[in-house]
Amino acid sequence: MLDEYILKLFGIIIGAIFFHEKCDKGKFRMDKLNLEAIKVFYDSIENVWPRNNAWYSYLKSRIETYIRKNYNQLDNAYILNAGSGGNDYGIISNNMYHVDIAKDKIAHLKNATVASIEDLPFPDEMFDYSICVGSVLNYCDAIASISEMARVLKRQGRLILEFENSHSFEYLGKSVYGNSAEIVTTKYLEQSHKLWVYSFDYIRSILKEYSFDIRNSSALHVLSGLLLNKKYDENTAAKLAKFDRIFQYIPYFKKRASNIILLCEKL
């Protein structure tokens, strides 16, 4: 069965290579998502990382591995967990500040603050680290959120940032493909869900504007989006994630991963 998927995959890849891609449009209006509806939804679910779903299990595992690899334990380091959803991603710290709009997900935690990452209620240069993963950025205005995380980070502070990519193979042949920023409707926990998708070039330009230097990056679900594009379900599409270890090092394919995670340093 997997051999059949691979044969179809390479047919899609050949088509993708000769596909006439659009450049980032660069002109768009930053519409607002319905944050109240998002808050109610996330308060209503048991776990923001769905169990028994190969796509999300793989993402969570890769994100945790990336954080462990790039987080240097510092004595008394202050950590902003922006949009934490109640997850600590394996970091044990008394100085982790959990921020989320979904109160029920963080109410039981120490240093919990109900707020949007677009408007953080913390003083300038308070934190040594900021972690913003789980596609939190895709529910927010990227400029407002990155500027706020830059404000509250100390100089030489580090930001680990993950987001869903508009250049993903999932959107190949669709109007959203490669756009700087666009709202899409997707499926999450069997419900229709609206969120932003951003291009890597767009996010990189914002990071540069707010004095972040990208130290390294990793691509998640590089080929998996090809099967989502062909209407396969997430569990089936996730079978291709095992090829990430090869294709994430090839620039053409890395740029078209479904998710991208970055380690940035504030200069």
Q: Where are the domains of the chain?
A: 27-266
Residue 1 has pLDDT above 70, yes or no: no
pLDDT by residue (tens digit) across 95-138? 999 999 999 999 999 999 999 999 999 999 999 999 999 999 99
Q: Was domain 27-266 assigned CATH 4.10.490.10?
A: no
Top-confidence range, 5-19, 35-49, 79-93: 79-93
Of the pLDDT bands very low, low, confident and very high (cuts 50, 70, 90), residue 50 is confident
Please report where in the chains the tokens 């190949």 appear, as a residue. Answer: 172
For the record, the structure tokens of 94 come out as 């008394």
pLDDT of residue 16: 47
Ordered alpha helix ranges (H), the chain: 2-17, 35-44, 54-70, 103-106, 142-152, 200-209, 224-229, 234-237, 244-247, 251-254
pLDDT of residue 4: 54
Note the pTM of the prediction, 2 decimals.
0.89
CA distance 94 to 40: 28
For the record, the structure tokens of 254 come out as 């890395």
Of the pLDDT bands very low, low, confident and very high (cuts 50, 70, 90), residue 27 is very low
pLDDT of residue 100: 97
CA distance 37 to 216: 34
Question: What's at 90, amino acid-wise?
Answer: G
Of the pLDDT bands very low, low, confident and very high (cuts 50, 70, 90), residue 226 is very high
Average pLDDT over residues 65-69: 95
